[in-house]
Structure 1
């Protein structure tokens, strides 16, 4: 533990019995501490992972302490305060070396914390004898300690978390408990918590059966792990498979969740009356731990196929683990509720469908920044005008709150109205400028900052007239005859909206195969890099793209610049097709025969279109996996779309629901199980995921081999 002794008996200096004077509990002390003058800064600006770690520390019934930063500022809980005695409460928020004085330099004290902090490797300390003040006197107690690093949301080590247990019977599991705490602190969703908990229980307790359950309306949903399951790294990254159970009074899991009382059965058939398979009927020993918070009821059960005596020390460890899991699950539920509301608000203000044109293809993508809990102000739109031209826009309202989203909605609605009356960029931008100025005057806030790039595309010849109000210029990708090139469009820079500026336009022409990409500044801005470097990376990514397909460009753009961004990311791409493409769609019912129907339909359609057999086989295999995934996880019908051009086959599978799961703000994985991820990465030329107003779309692209001499292309 931070500042707690060495392997030999050590007395903390100046420890005395705690007097009867009132001392605030540690949670009160943390709230009252003047953090502004420390490296942590104001509490409201704390890193989300650090904040979550502190919440776990304060809620834990076992002694825990966080040593933050290079000075190892101490944040600890009430159980830890009992250990350090008279040094509490002055120790809260102070550097560990200052708190413990010369003892900090003793073997096994400060050096251990420093080594874990510097190397990032967790460390488990064997039993140590400690002098602890209790009942007015100092007593010797045995402690085992586990030290794990705490990383912020960017992955940087920011502190060391120490967990201590006053027992000699759980030393082998103490390090796992510390790691569980650290991992739970970084979870965002209930899915994340389930993955962490199941992995912890299976490895730390070496059980045959483990179930994590949470309430879901009038029922419960649960996810299970059993011994012998083949779970690889890909599965660990993917959403767990949830099942439902009603309020069955025979289920130990339901009883624990509803009553709040744990149960420990050393031998018998605890799951016999509710068993769903042979494995559950073989369980003989079972522990059912309630997970109870003001807003969540759930349970964690672990079981063995042989008789098992639940010793007091093991029960104590389970109590501590269950408390940590319950707090993490409640925090995840709050995040999901806030995240879902913000996502729905954000996406309800964006177009649910983009125009489908004969000679031009359009795609867009929006990824939320920050922690996914706030609505942002980035927006895009594309719509046909009365004369057949296409209006397209991408804009950014500064801020990450409901107000920014509201302003964004007003600007987008006004832009449509203005463009449908007079689509000329100068006229539309002037009208938006008056609107933003009026909104600023109404709210008496001169800090409304809105940038927009707006263009009108003439579908007859590919000409685009562009105007910019303080927004980064689009990227133009030229297909050319050989290697593709890319450059920033020279759009005259105009003032952001609301400042009473004037705007000039420029014109570019898309030749067959060319694409234009509009983007928000979150795509290219990074704190540690100049803007020019980000723009250069984006241009290089567009030039190096395997094709100019809009979905592909949007996917590449969001990952073109290294490093993470705290800003929202919006992109809109338009490609002028080389030739007319062929497309077809199918609605797949949410039933077991759905994937086979897709395979039959797709095989017939692609063969009719003359697609090479190797491409057909690979595409059907990937589509079948994606369809199965959509039906399994969303529980709603899926929509499969195939689009064939002269150079590529594009397939997308969309679902319209998530059974309550939430997609994380920053995700780099495909929500497919088993071999699906590997198949798509191996067989396709590029793929990606696109969130929608409801549900999500997963797509992949396969480039077609050039037609043989004398054969007619598709």
Structure 2
């Protein structure tokens, strides 16, 4: 749908058969076909989604669409405007309200929100909406106006929520912002965060919860809650919400409401007595449970108070409207997660699950999907030991963002490793790979198959790095001699043309000394809209040079965040550090049991004490590791792996899980509420920390720099 539409003449009166005020008649009104917007079915998906929320809401809502601010509204709004309905459907608002549109605070508010994209809130203002027998009635309303954006982010209309002012209906002013926040959610975790934050604030509740089925059938349910006063900081928002799981027949009020599709309202009692896990649940006396009423996903929202609370009709309507919005966002999230999971499983299954572990070379990699996480991309990386004992490293990008690109990526990666194991010279490897890409293109009957790739061989004995590139960004080396400040420099390797479009072999050999770190990266790291490539490359070099250490895992995180702004491309980074001295490492497999964090603390303390690490570092490291282990077990529910790597410069600890989100043995809710505080401690006690997606799950890590000895 275009951001602006021209003025299109509209009929002066209703068309035949348009007197039915139902929502289907409003959306399917034939008058839309005569406007610049076109029939409802042709509208942008994001705009249609907003329209469906409006038409399904019991709260009075109207959409003003396009430059003419054409009206689409629900039945509650139709009642407010009286005999202006149904003539107002698909008509310019300035014509529908012609006698009052030019008054201050009427039409100018809508027009300003459309022009500037700025949300506005008017409290207790007279709005002459009703028109009957030539008289204007002006009751007092609260009105919230928010810009409506299409799937490309352009403002294409204004959402207006209006209600007569009262203590309950004033809460409706937050519905517009709530709908806008939900429109930006992608996953069920995102929906849960937004829904709980809104519910506990808007209703001033003591406890709120959000429950959703685990995929239908007998899969069971999962539920997440928030309680008044619970600390949730920015660090906590970065990790998945901590879901509590239950069986298919769970008696939790939220699950019962979701399963039956019936709302329940308890004014005073002990509604959570049977499922209470702590004092927060036990103290709840009044509880409302409202089903989401989504067509595919079953779920519910609950709001509770510690004192008796009669539920007014206005509150019930507000809860129903909120649940309607959450239900539509939940269904979108479930579809996204299904598509996203399939694409990412394909992508990650073709990447190496484990990278080599060598005495002097530390290796790490990171892959993040672009803005459209549903698409499988062609970025790939690899690192492997050659028959000569040298290390081969590669990072490349196969053109395309679909399943075919991911499949070709797998072919190219496998062929490159085979060629390198036969003859590791980088120019010869890429020459052979060029022939393969040309053959694949001929087989597919396309001239659009090409691959950019950088391949290098690290010789520790000679302290040399030999590189060849085919149309790929120049590799970056962080130089860090024992004395002097770190610096970052791009390797001047001839890039030439990509494979498949006339690659010419060329190599460059440079020094690679102890303390240096090699960084290979895809163009998604440095390219941004409305930013020059040179600016992105400069920011990357500056960030890498200013990193607290040359640790490869830390540098991968630094590189991924070096250039501000979102990227629509995939991001892949591979880093290799030539350590000044060999590091010491240890690992522990952690079972999904309640006693696991305690066992990890004892193991960590004994291991670091044996390595003669300073007591201050041991204390901080043990605390951080215990927190990350607890988080991994709670939000993944499977066994975890703790890895410790100690070098003369820093201590690196990582905790990996398999991300299956299974059941955690005897996980108690009071334990969950401390997560934000613990994660804040990690930020305070470590010099760097981050999260990395892996082939089968995710890894959270932290780094503590060691004091000089």
TM-score range for the pair, normalised by the shorter chain length: 0.7 to 0.9
Residue of structure 2 in register with 1:60 after alignment: 57
Cα offset, 1:233, TM superposition: 4.9
Return the alpha-carbon distance in structure 2 between the equivalents of residues 33 and 424 of structure 1: 64
Return the alpha-carbon distance in structure 1 between the equivalents of residues 209 and 203 of structure 2: 13
- Which residue of 99, 104, 108 maps to 1:107? 104
- Which residue of 580, 583, 601 maps to 1:581? 583
Q: Do the aligned partners of 2:390 and 2:459 also contact (CA within 8 Å) in 1? A: yes
Cα offset, 1:479, TM superposition: 0.9
Residue of structure 1 in register with 2:652 after alignment: 650
Q: Within 5 A, what are the aligned runs for 1:236-315?
A: 236=237, 238-248=239-249, 251-315=252-316
Cα offset, 1:314, TM superposition: 2.2
Query: Deviations along 1:113-163, whole A, 9 cap, x unmatched?
Result: 3555648454034364545589x9999696542223557899997764322
Return the alpha-carbon distance in structure 2 between the equivalents of residues 155 and 594 of structure 1: 46
Cα offset, 1:249, TM superposition: 7.2
1:491 and 2:493 correspond: yes
Cα offset, 1:554, TM superposition: 1.0
1:76 and 2:72 correspond: yes
Return the alpha-carbon distance in structure 1 between the equivalents of residues 518 and 312 of structure 2: 67
Query: Deviations along 1:361-417, whole A, 9 cap, x unmatched?
Result: 111111111232221111111111222121111111222222221221121122122
Query: Deviations along 1:200-242, whole A, 9 cap, x unmatched?
Result: 2222222333221111252221112233434445445543221
Q: Do the aligned partners of 2:56 and 2:74 also contact (CA within 8 Å) in 1? A: no
Change in 2 beyond 3 A, CA 1:399/1:54: farther
Select between 374-383 and 302-311 the one with higher mean Cα deviation.
Answer: 302-311
Q: Within 5 A, what are the aligned runs for 1:30-45?
A: none
Return the alpha-carbon distance in structure 1 between the equivalents of residues 34 and 556 of structure 2: 45
1:695 and 2:691 correspond: no
Cα offset, 1:522, TM superposition: 0.6
Return the alpha-carbon distance in structure 1 between the equivalents of residues 26 and 662 of structure 2: 35
Return the alpha-carbon distance in structure 1 between the equivalents of residues 499 and 651 of structure 2: 41
Residue of structure 2 in register with 1:665 after alignment: none
Select between 227-236 and 379-388 the one with higher mean Cα deviation.
Answer: 227-236
- Which residue of 568, 571, 583 maps to 1:569? 571
Return the alpha-carbon distance in structure 2 between the equivalents of residues 367 and 397 of structure 1: 16
Cα offset, 1:684, TM superposition: 1.8
Change in 2 beyond 3 A, CA 1:691/1:73: farther
Q: Do the aligned partners of 1:626 and 1:698 also contact (CA within 8 Å) in 2? A: yes
- Which residue of 107, 120, 126 maps to 2:124? 126
Select between 288-297 and 377-386 the one with higher mean Cα deviation.
Answer: 288-297
Residue of structure 2 in register with 1:206 after alignment: 204
Q: Do the aligned partners of 2:117 and 2:155 also contact (CA within 8 Å) in 1? A: no
1:173 and 2:175 correspond: no
RMSD, matched Cα: 3.5
- Which residue of 615, 618, 630 maps to 1:616? 618
Change in 2 beyond 3 A, CA 1:37/1:90: closer
Residue of structure 2 in register with 1:668 after alignment: none
Select between 138-147 and 683-692 the one with higher mean Cα deviation.
Answer: 138-147
Secondary structure at 1:174 match in 2? helix
Residue of structure 2 in register with 1:664 after alignment: none
Q: Do the aligned partners of 1:18 and 1:133 also contact (CA within 8 Å) in 2? A: no
Select between 81-90 and 343-352 the one with higher mean Cα deviation.
Answer: 81-90
Q: Within 5 A, what are the aligned runs for 1:597-616?
A: 597-616=599-618
Return the alpha-carbon distance in structure 1 between the equivalents of residues 212 and 283 of structure 2: 24
Change in 2 beyond 3 A, CA 1:22/1:518: farther
Q: Do the aligned partners of 1:64 and 1:162 also contact (CA within 8 Å) in 2? A: yes
Query: Deviations along 1:500-539, whole A, 9 cap, x unmatched?
Result: 3321111112111011111100111111111111111111
Residue of structure 1 in register with 2:412 after alignment: 411
Change in 2 beyond 3 A, CA 1:656/1:238: closer
Select between 144-153 and 237-246 the one with higher mean Cα deviation.
Answer: 144-153
Change in 2 beyond 3 A, CA 1:422/1:22: farther
Cα offset, 1:443, TM superposition: 2.6
Cα offset, 1:37, TM superposition: 8.7
Return the alpha-carbon distance in structure 1 between the equivalents of residues 63 and 341 of structure 2: 31
Cα offset, 1:453, TM superposition: 0.7
Change in 2 beyond 3 A, CA 1:14/1:295: closer
Cα offset, 1:62, TM superposition: 3.8
Residue of structure 2 in register with 1:4 after alignment: none
Q: Within 5 A, what are the aligned runs for 1:392-407?
A: 392-407=393-408
Secondary structure at 1:493 match in 2? coil
Select between 232-241 and 527-536 the one with higher mean Cα deviation.
Answer: 232-241
Return the alpha-carbon distance in structure 1 between the equivalents of residues 36 and 497 of structure 2: 37
Cα offset, 1:608, TM superposition: 2.0
Select between 244-253 and 404-413 the one with higher mean Cα deviation.
Answer: 244-253
Change in 2 beyond 3 A, CA 1:200/1:21: closer
1:447 and 2:448 correspond: yes
- Which residue of 626, 629, 638 maps to 2:628? 626
Select between 624-633 and 268-277 the one with higher mean Cα deviation.
Answer: 268-277
Cα offset, 1:571, TM superposition: 0.7
Change in 2 beyond 3 A, CA 1:688/1:280: closer
Residue of structure 2 in register with 1:85 after alignment: 85
Change in 2 beyond 3 A, CA 1:558/1:144: same
Change in 2 beyond 3 A, CA 1:60/1:432: farther
Output the TM-score relative to the length of structure 2.
0.86
Q: Do the aligned partners of 1:56 and 1:185 also contact (CA within 8 Å) in 2? A: no
Change in 2 beyond 3 A, CA 1:635/1:329: same
Return the alpha-carbon distance in structure 1 between the equivalents of residues 191 and 399 of structure 2: 33
Residue of structure 2 in register with 1:666 after alignment: none
Q: Do the aligned partners of 2:524 and 2:569 also contact (CA within 8 Å) in 1? A: yes
Q: Do the aligned partners of 2:119 and 2:144 also contact (CA within 8 Å) in 1? A: no
Query: Deviations along 1:615-658, whole A, 9 cap, x unmatched?
Result: 22222221121112112211112211111112221111111124
Query: Deviations along 1:162-219, whole A, 9 cap, x unmatched?
Result: 2234786733211122222121111112122222222222222223332211112522
Q: Do the aligned partners of 2:351 and 2:382 also contact (CA within 8 Å) in 1? A: yes
Residue of structure 2 in register with 1:390 after alignment: 391
Return the alpha-carbon distance in structure 1 between the equivalents of residues 427 and 296 of structure 2: 53
Secondary structure at 1:272 match in 2? coil
Gaps of 5+ in 1: 1-12, 662-670, 708-714
Q: Do the aligned partners of 2:106 and 2:127 also contact (CA within 8 Å) in 1? A: no
Secondary structure at 2:343 match in 1? helix
Q: Do the aligned partners of 1:370 and 1:567 also contact (CA within 8 Å) in 2? A: yes
Secondary structure at 2:454 match in 1? strand
Query: Deviations along 1:80-114, whole A, 9 cap, x unmatched?
Result: 577563554443xx7x6687667443222232235
Cα offset, 1:354, TM superposition: 0.5
Residue of structure 1 in register with 2:349 after alignment: 348
Residue of structure 2 in register with 1:710 after alignment: none
Residue of structure 1 in register with 2:7 after alignment: none
Q: How many residues align?
A: 676
Q: Do the aligned partners of 1:223 and 1:242 also contact (CA within 8 Å) in 2? A: yes
Select between 632-641 and 239-248 the one with higher mean Cα deviation.
Answer: 239-248
Q: Do the aligned partners of 1:72 and 1:159 also contact (CA within 8 Å) in 2? A: no
Query: Deviations along 1:648-692, whole A, 9 cap, x unmatched?
Result: 21111111124179xxxxxxxxx9922233222222222221110
1:547 and 2:543 correspond: no
Cα offset, 1:423, TM superposition: 2.1
Return the alpha-carbon distance in structure 1 between the equivalents of residues 29 and 441 of structure 2: 41
Output the TM-score relative to the length of structure 1.
0.86
